Amino acid sequence: GRSPVVLGIESSCDETGAGLVREGRLLGHAVASSMDEHARFGGVVPEIAARAHVHAATPVVRRALAEAGLTMSDIGAVAVTTGPGLSGALQVGVAAAKGLAYALGVPLYGVHHLAGHVAADTLEHGPLPDPCVVLIVSGGHTSLLLVRDLARDPIVHLGDTLDDAAGECFDKVARVFGLPYPGGPAVDRAARDGDPRAVAFPRPMTGPRDDPWTFSFSGLKTAAARWAERHRAAGRPLPVADGAASLQEAVADVLTRKAVAACTEYGVGTLVVVGGVAANSRVRSLAEERCAAAGIRLRVPPLRLCTDNGAMIAAIGDLLVRAGAEPAPLNVSVDPSAPL
């Protein structure tokens, strides 16, 4: 028979997401964000995020079902993010998923947030080729992965950031530049009117002795802050557009250079770029240029599937169900610092 409709629930950070997927097809999804509530603090406040998930969990599930034209009784399996993420935030989603799975008498699957980000692209572009290189860039992660069969094989972690994630770098520098939170989209908008060659920001971890798959963004953040400080100290207005364009160029350069090099090194023909920063216009255009030059196929999911959402969790859940994976026990716990 047909495989079941999988409900995916995501609550690892400030987005509450619910999505419904069957056999690789997205049937409906909904996202609620507590982003506005964190804006005046300049970053996600864990306790506020957890409370917001409590309020949003049931409504987003209902909205996803309504969009799909389905009811609760159509749900045949539940997948939920168990980590990594904020502990309190994760616990709300996991509790909701357990309650639904228990009440509906359907299996529960605990999934890794990053595997969800990778799976997001399958909803738009179909099954992933084996192998592929995945660059995950968000507010919490900057990782290069070697992915085989998502449902069966362990993901190989090629490298990570030593310090800040790329999205965190955008968010923190945006603050210094006086741009609104979240900083990534604000930097992207401001950069449209700027010159990417105006400021020669460093390209961290690209030296001959640096690990080719490891990133570092705290030095770039500091360089941007110093540049802004020099203008302020001299009483000059800050050329925000030039600063934003130059910062974006530096981040996009490092990310795409390493990702394409990983494809070449491992003889992989497909690069997938996922996570919130994959929404960045320069990351996208430079990835396109460099992949085309290297003969690599580039896959980037649409913006709405790049940022945290429930559809991506449903997507990995659907892959697990169809691969015959073992469901999680109903007492499964969250794993805030889950390794891959």
Query: Which residues make up each annotated binding site for substrate?
Result: 136-140, 171, 184, 188, 280
**Residue positions in the annotated binding site for Fe cation?**
113, 117, 308
Q: How far is the CB of 213 from Zn ion (least distance, A)?
A: 20
How many residues interact with Zn ion (rule CB under 5 A)?
Answer: 2
The CA distance from 120 to 228, in Å, is: 37
Stretch binding ligand KG4 (CB under 6 A), from 34-42, 71-79, 135-143, 257-265: 135-143
Q: What is the chain's percent helix, strand, coil content, to nearest 5?
A: 45, 20, 35
* Gap between the terminal Cα atoms of the chain: 32
Half-sphere exposure of 29 (CA within 13 A, CB side): 28
- For position 301 contacting ligand KG4 by CB under 6 A, the verdict is no
- For position 318 contacting Zn ion by CB under 5 A, the verdict is no
**Residue positions in the annotated binding site?**
113, 117, 136-140, 171, 184, 188, 280, 308
Q: How far is the CB of 135 from ligand KG4 (least distance, A)?
A: 12
Q: Which two tokens stand for residue 226?
A: 């110093």
- For position 310 contacting ligand KG4 by CB under 6 A, the verdict is no
Nearer to ligand KG4 by C-beta: 77 or 143?
143
The CA distance from 334 to 84, in Å, is: 8
Q: What are phi and psi of 82, to 5 degrees?
A: -100, -10
Instruction: Note the residue count of the chain.
Output: 340
- For position 14 contacting Zn ion by CB under 5 A, the verdict is no
| Interface with ligand KG4 (CB under 6 A), residue from 19, 185, 194, 317 | 185
User: Is residue 158 within 8 Å of residue 136, measured between CB atoms?
Assistant: no
Residue with the two structure tokens 């216009």: 281
CA 314: distance to chain centroid? Answer: 15
Q: Which two tokens stand for residue 29?
A: 């999804």
Nearer to ligand KG4 by C-beta: 22 or 221?
221
Q: How far is the CB of 112 from ligand KG4 (least distance, A)?
A: 12
| Interface residues toward ligand KG4, by CB under 6 A | 13, 138-140, 167, 170-171, 182-185, 187-188, 275-277, 279-280, 307-308
